[in-house]
Amino acid sequence: MPHRILILGGTIEARQLAGRLAARPDVDLTLSLAGRTENPVAQQVPTRVGGFGGAEGLAAYLEGIKADLLIDATHPYAARISDNAAEAARLTGVPILALRRPGWERQQGDRWTEVNDAANAAVALGRTARRVFLALGRQDVGVFEAAAQHHYLLRSVDPVEPPLGVPHVDYLLARGPFDEADERRLLIEHGIDVIVSKNSGGEATYGKIAAARALGIEVVMIRRPVLPAVPSAAGILELLAMVDHSLRPVAERGV
């Protein structure tokens, strides 16, 4: 019988991991997406879309498919689904592994102001009008309506609906990855004074951070949320090795 694995996705790594596992004859894989993006990148693996209905809903789903393993490969700021995944694993006894992409480290020349959340980022922009690049998902930008004095550049995969309730905002529709040279051009073209970013980690969205450093631009960096402590790997290869270990019969792995 193939091993049934559910991957909670929504990241580049989840897509890559799903591709690797789906190619294995001993694995029966399902990738789960929240359904936030209107046209997600086409996936060559069986995919389901939409919430489960909290930790209990996810637990019921895991039992329904007789899952052997749950992999949380969601974005580091998707804390609710990671909490639900840990709780569902506890409720069902299904083993869980997480792919936890390391955050970016501050480098010499970086001008980061670290804050706890988007609302504090809006405050950290200050009272004087600035030109702000909001490099956040469209779900996170509503709180900047409280700081309507600034001129915003807002980049998102799908249109921001309803539009942000501030007088000055430019919208840019684009999907990463974004390289440093393009980000540098964008920052210069829009006369950006400050960027608001999550500490997402990885290469795909690091270009703006490197470009900000080179141009001496401030970055208001939203700190990572605390995620549940579950066995985790920083990269795909390490996680695949953990998957192998987890799926091996208990007698064979000697635990």
Shortest gap between Cβ of 200 and ligand NAP (angstroms)?
A: 7
Whole-Å CA distances, 240 to 20, 44, 128, 212:
9, 19, 49, 34
| Residues of span 55-94 touching ligand NAP by CB under 6 A | 57-58, 74-75, 77-81, 84
Residue nearest to ligand NAP (CB): 51
| φ, ψ at 215 (rounded to 5°) | -95, 0
**Interaction of residue 206 with ligand NAP, rule CB under 6 A:** no
| Residues of span 98-137 touching ligand NAP by CB under 6 A | 137
Specify which residues 171 forms β-bridges with.
Answer: 154
Neighbour-count burial for 86-101, b at 16+ CB within 10 Å, e otherwise: bbbbeebebbbbbbbb
**Interaction of residue 174 with ligand NAP, rule CB under 6 A:** no
Instruction: Measure the CA–CA gap between 82 and 85, rounded to whole angstroms.
Output: 5
Binding part of the chain for ligand NAP, among 54-62, 146-154, 164-172, 236-244 by CB under 6 A, reads 54-62
Site string for ligand NAP, 31-50 (x = CB under 6 A): -xxx-x--------------
Which of 2, 46, 51, 159 is in the footprint of ligand NAP by CB under 6 A?
A: 51
One-character DSSP codes across 32-88: EE-S-SSSPPP-SS-EEES--SHHHHHHHHHHHTT-SEEEE---TT-HHHHHHHHHH
Residue 217: closest CA among 186, 197, 239, 194: 194
Residue closer to ligand NAP, measured from CB, 78 or 242? 78
Residue closer to ligand NAP, measured from CB, 91 or 129? 91
| CA 117 to the chain's CA centroid | 15
Binding part of the chain for ligand NAP, among 2-10, 112-120, 171-179, 183-191 by CB under 6 A, reads 2-10
Which of 6, 52, 150, 152 is in the footprint of ligand NAP by CB under 6 A?
A: 52
Which positions touch ligand NAP (CB under 6 A)?
8-11, 32-34, 36, 51-54, 57-58, 74-75, 77-81, 84, 137, 139, 198
